[in-house]
Amino acid sequence: MEQTLRLTGIMLLLTLSVAANAETGNPAVSVPNGNVDLFGGLVDGEGTLNLSGHYTFPLASYFGAQFDGLYGQRDSRGIYSAGGHLFWRNPEYALIGLTASYLQHRSTDLWRIGGEGEMYWNQITLAGQLGSQSGDLGDDGYGRIDAHYYLAEDLLMLSAGVGRFDHRTVWSGDAEYLTDLGGLSLFATGGRGGNGDYFALGGIRYYFGAKKSLLLRHREDALTSTSL
């Protein structure tokens, strides 16, 4: 745990140093905005239905924050989660920030704190998280790296990622399609762990805020990753 926190701290210091010296004319968050997700599916053979919300807002010219919240049911038992982000972002180049979250399910508590980053290059976004978790599952580090590819700015985003937590490696893939119905999008996600665990989820998402492409929503407004 201590080694994970030390590595997270070094990563954040280095990236924040770069960020502080980067010239940018674009704010971290264009305007206060949010999105609501309704999604469900299967997790290890158990049915689940969830409602989550995210609110993102500017703090200063190049800094922003986001709050995440989720309530759901899995196998007729409640899931509760809340978290947040504090970040620097230049929508043309990169994001770097801190994230923390809490989750409870089946009387099991999970706390996380760590760092996150994103890099932007044309239609590609590289994103990652690294930190430490504690709670009823024991102390451990967690990490994740994702690659997002936007086939078209207004239409579709595909992504693939790999994460490591609770001594398990989890592979996953995501897709999102932004419709012409205001800020309404359709999305799906699925993955499998090294011990045979799996999940397959799909749902709808509605973005509040100025009308813009999916790519710009993910680089000027909401984060591509959440703390949940």
The 10s digit of each residue's pLDDT in 139-193 is: 888 888 999 999 887 777 788 877 766 667 888 899 999 998 889 999 999 998 7
Query: Each residue of 2-39: pLDDT tens digit?
Result: 444 444 444 454 455 455 445 556 899 999 999 999 99
Beta bridge partners of 203: 39, 187
Q: d(Cα 31, Cα 38) in Å, to the nearest integer? A: 23
Q: Are 73 and 57 in contact (CB under 8 A)?
A: no
Buried b (16+ CB within 10 A) or exposed e, 82-110: bbbbebbbbbebbbbbbbebbbebeeeeb
Among 68-72, 84-88, 207-211, the least confident range: 207-211
Q: d(Cα 84, Cα 92) in Å, to the nearest integer? A: 23
Query: In percent, how much of the chain has pLDDT > 70?
Result: 85
Cα dist from 63 to 66, 89, 112, 210, 228, whole Å: 11, 6, 22, 19, 21
Burial class (CB in 10 A: 0-12, 13-18, 19+), 180: exposed
Number of Cβ atoms within 10 Å of the Cβ of 166: 14
Q: Are 15 and 117 in contact (CB under 8 A)?
A: yes
Structure tokens at 11: 């990563």
Catalogue all structural domains in the chain, each as residue range(s) with its CATH number: 2-221 (2.40.160.160)
pTM confidence score: 0.84
